[in-house]
Structure 1
Amino acid sequence: MSKSRLILLFFLMMPVLTLPAQETWKITSLNWQPYSGAELANQGHSIEKLKQILQQAGIMLEVEFYPWNRAKLLAQKNKEYVGAFPVWPEDIFDKALISLAVDWSEIAVLKRAGTRISFNSVDELFRKYSVGVVSTYIYPKVVMEAMKKYPHHSDGSSNEMTLLKKLETGRDEVAITDPKVMLYLATEQGIDNIEYVKKIMDKELVVAFRDDEENRKRLQVLNNLLRQQKN
């Protein structure tokens, strides 16, 4: 082979030799439609949003879905996963590193159609009514304090579907969750007697990373990408 052909071959091979392998982040998640879900288009709009943000840095996202407590445990203990998403900042595993907001959720009060609910604070809501919550969630402080103060009026459900069924049948007078999630499930189940009452707060949806050296770097990468989204 001539010297000129060897030189040409060397330069043709350089991009192959120098391009780094595309990084892939694997996370755990839960079926929390419409934000995330194994059967949803693009695995839910929050998952889709995170994928699009990471793609700007050439990062692929793989998502595995589990019941929520297991999803958090795997993200915390299993190094196969970098973290969990979507997560309220309060609802994380021990020593988690939390990102800036990737998306936004809402926490609100819902009731059955035809019932009258009147309250001026979360404390008053729990004092007057039977309140359904999802027992595997860690709610914001104002809700958790009311649950502790009025345990006889706090009714925990293992998941969103059970919470919906209890509200539909009147076992709970009201429920506290993300209204998009409950109303999505109600539509899927053909349940038409659930009504939105009042917003408690908007709440960030973040990525919760396990705390290790590599994930600290990943947290910085993601936060930089999220800051760029705002500019």
Structure 2
Amino acid sequence: MKSIGVVLLSFALFLNPLAWGGETWKIASLNWEPYSSDRMTTQGNAIQKLRHLLKQKDIELIVDFYPWERAQEIAKDPQYIGYFPAWPEEVKEGFTASAKIDWSWIAVLRKRSTMLEYSNARQLFAFYRGGLISTYSYPTLIADQAKAQRHRTTLVANELALLKALMADQIDFAVTDPYVMTYLADKLGVDEIEVDKVLMRKALVLAIRNDEHASERLQLLRDLLNH
């Protein structure tokens, strides 16, 4: 009976390889402090949260950092599980969004000396010069207005360029995660940036590459998050 039990246990593990301890998940990410960064000892707050979740199943997390578009592209390689942290809008074809692992926010930011008067996103983009990050997939509320007012909207490569554009009065407002922008401003000793209005809260998910183990990994994360 003992040998039969061992055989059954081995067969169960074969059917569910994610039950094995000692597995390694490798993901692609970006420098997006404080959520993710190769310059932080924790590799970022969101990365740390994912790592702690996986540690409950004795899964090691390895993170490679790239520019965001490169991270999403390189995550197609079979050596990667996927990419993180992503807004749901940033989960590309060939990947599936996990359950929410952390929260991000999207806000309008401005210089303290700049006053903005608007009632909605349409007025904001119609009345003022806005700045967005070109590699981010913004929610429709923002993306549609930026497209409609493209002559008044500046697209830049990253948060640093967005901060510089604000400080140089090249734009009147920026739309991005307020924690990322204020973290960067504090790091650079810039104290003139304020959050004008928080527009929405956005889930941060792991975009899991669609392979033969994707559904098992998605279920594992759901179970860990609901534990």
Is this a same-fold pair by TM over 0.5? Answer: yes
Question: How far does residue 92 in structure 1 lie from its aligned partner after superposition?
Answer: 2.2
Q: Which moved more, 1:169-178 or 1:93-102?
A: 93-102
C-alpha contact 1:26 1:63 (8 A) present in aligned 2: yes
Question: How big is each residue's C-alpha offset from its partner over 1:95-142, in whole Å with a ceiling of 9 and x where there is no partner?
Answer: 320011100000000001111101111111111111100000000111
Q: Answer with 1 or 2: which has the greater Rg.
A: 1
Question: How big is each residue's C-alpha offset from its partner over 1:64-119, in whole Å with a ceiling of 9 and x where there is no partner?
Answer: 100000000011x2111110111000012223200111000000000011111011
User: Letter of the aligned partner of 2:179 in structure 1?
Assistant: K
Question: How far does residue 216 in structure 1 lie from its aligned partner after superposition?
Answer: 2.1
C-alpha contact 1:73 1:93 (8 A) present in aligned 2: no
Question: How big is each residue's C-alpha offset from its partner over 1:176-200, in whole Å with a ceiling of 9 and x where there is no partner?
Answer: 0001100111111121211110000
| Structure 2 unmatched runs, 5+ | 1-12, 14-18
Q: Match for residue 226 of structure 1?
A: 225
C-alpha contact 2:21 2:59 (8 A) present in aligned 1: no
Question: How big is each residue's C-alpha offset from its partner over 1:143-174, in whole Å with a ceiling of 9 and x where there is no partner?
Answer: 11111211112210011110111011110100
Q: Report the identity percentage.
A: 43
Q: How does 1:45-194 map to 2 (within 5 A)?
A: 45-75=45-75, 77-194=76-193
Question: How big is each residue's C-alpha offset from its partner over 1:36-86, in whole Å with a ceiling of 9 and x where there is no partner?
Answer: 1001121111110001111111111110100000000011x2111110111
- TM-score normalized by the length of structure 2: 0.89
Q: Over aligned residue pairs, what C-alpha RMSD do you find?
A: 1.4
Distance 1:146 1:32 in 2: 25
Distance 1:227 1:21 in 2: 20
- TM-score normalized by the length of structure 1: 0.88
Q: Which moved more, 1:189-198 or 1:171-180?
A: 189-198
Distance 1:140 1:149 in 2: 14
User: Letter of the aligned partner of 2:107 in structure 1?
Assistant: A
Q: Match for residue 8 of structure 2?
A: none
C-alpha contact 2:130 2:152 (8 A) present in aligned 1: yes
